[in-house]
Amino acid sequence: MEAIAIGCDHAGFEYKELVKAHLIERNVEVLDKGTFSSDSVDYPDFVHPVVKAVNDKEATSGILICGTGNGVAMTANKYQDIRAGICWSKEIAELIRLHNDANIVCIPARFVSSHMMTDIVDTFIDTSFEGGRHKRRVDKICVC
- Which structural domains are found in the chain, ordered by start? 3-138 (3.40.1400.10)
Q: Is 106 a catalytic residue?
A: no
Residue 97: what pLDDT? 98
Looking at every residue in the chain, the average pLDDT score rounds to 96
What distances in angstroms separate CA 52 from CA 1, 4, 48, 55, 130, one per listed residue? 19, 12, 6, 5, 25
* pLDDT per position as a tens digit, 48-100: 999 999 999 999 999 999 999 999 999 999 999 999 999 999 999 999 999 99
Cα 103–Cα 144–Cα 133 angle in degrees, nearest 5: 55
Q: How many residues does the chain have?
A: 144
Q: Is 66 a catalytic residue?
A: yes
What distances in angstroms separate CA 44 from CA 21, 62, 72, 82, 115, one per listed residue? 23, 14, 7, 15, 26
Q: Choosing from 8, 10, 66, 87, which is the catalytic residue?
A: 66
Is the pTM value of this prediction over 0.95? yes
Residue 1: what pLDDT? 65
Q: Choosing from 99, 115, 142, 144, which is the catalytic residue?
A: 99
